[in-house]
Structure 1
């Protein structure tokens, strides 16, 4: 059952959010207007050290007025690969630089309403290169034991969708033979 797009028009357009109205044909033949949010892709890094700790940031999200732990993440810039964006964001937000990244998990967080893709990478070797250069992201960066992550999720100390996908993938990897 495939939906067909016959056209698209701009409703609202900013560098952050693009709201579009699509003229779609549903599988039953009905043509309807369907609003979608077009967002830039997101790159996320789960840095894990040899003590099985993950590097996280304590953040305030003003939109929801909540505080929670998150993995370093940011938007993929035009012409930039998701892997390069993940490495850049890790360094800018935490002051740690990865020696290598490998894809941990890929997600489409809300494919029925938005086209954004989330690319989550794992870094097993990182080195401290200085203080974070991005001053508006977090005032706390800490290495959190992976064993504590399930309790943090249960207590709603980790709520970001991209972070949840990343840490759950880490936990799955740790449990697989």
Structure 2
């Protein structure tokens, strides 16, 4: 947006850490008013995808333990886009890996940046349907699968049983725009 009085100016960037998954940079920024300082930025090479799988007015969620927060929770299937893969191809692959189900439809729901103040990480969410079981869920990614009604999803969100912010955002967006 031209003339935005809240626009920050980046004067330089220095890579502090690099990996195939994530990079950490220290950017020298100037905020409106002229103050300059170093700001950490987490940069990702590509987007991630997530699937709100809807079938017969229920949604399929995966349960897994996240060591980073020290607890399990329910989540939508999600993951990285591999190099050369479109987001739609990635969401189909992730759903199959994490649930054992193939999907016949994937419609873009919303794109969001969950930590826009410090990260370039983009999530593209899809509404998916037409599930057909083709195998088993990858046990390293999913400990349990569950089909939930929308009132049950609301209760899981309210009770903190969906601690993953991206899953909560996708499900809440679906509930607020599609239901």
The TM-score normalised by the length of structure 1 is 0.91
Equivalent residues in 2 for 1:6-17 (5 A)? Answer: 6-17=11-22
Q: In structure 2, what is the Cα distance between the partners aligned to 1:76 and 1:119?
A: 10
Equivalent residues in 2 for 1:76-91 (5 A)? Answer: 76-91=81-96
Superposition RMSD in Å? 1.4
**158, 161, 165: which one aligns with 1:157:** 161
Q: In structure 2, what is the Cα distance between the partners aligned to 1:67 and 1:139?
A: 9
Q: In structure 1, what is the Cα distance between the partners aligned to 2:28 and 2:74?
A: 39
Q: In structure 1, what is the Cα distance between the partners aligned to 2:109 and 2:59?
A: 13
Equivalent residues in 2 for 1:16-95 (5 A)? Answer: 16-39=21-44, 40-50=46-56, 52-95=57-100
**Structure 1 partner of 2:108:** 103
Structure 1 runs of 4+ off > 6 angstroms? none
Q: In structure 2, what is the Cα distance between the partners aligned to 1:164 and 1:56?
A: 11
In structure 2, stretches of 5+ residues that fail to align are 1-5
- Secondary structure of the 2:68 match is coil
Task: Give the deviation of 1:169 after TM superposition.
Answer: 1.9
Task: Give the deviation of 1:174 after TM superposition.
Answer: 4.1
Q: What does the per-residue CA deviation read over 1:106-138, in whole Å, with 9 as the maximum and x for residues that have no partner?
A: 211010011101111001222111112x33111
In structure 1, stretches of 5+ residues that fail to align are none
- Secondary structure of the 1:152 match is helix
**Structure 1 partner of 2:3:** none
Task: Give the deviation of 1:15 after TM superposition.
Answer: 2.0
Task: Give the deviation of 1:30 after TM superposition.
Answer: 3.0
Q: In structure 2, what is the Cα distance between the partners aligned to 1:67 and 1:111?
A: 25
Task: Give the deviation of 1:173 after TM superposition.
Answer: 3.3
Task: Give the deviation of 1:155 after TM superposition.
Answer: 1.4
**167, 174, 179: which one aligns with 1:170:** 174
Q: In structure 2, what is the Cα distance between the partners aligned to 1:30 and 1:155?
A: 42
**140, 146, 152: which one aligns with 2:150:** 146
**109, 123, 137: which one aligns with 2:141:** 137
**120, 125, 128: which one aligns with 1:123:** 128
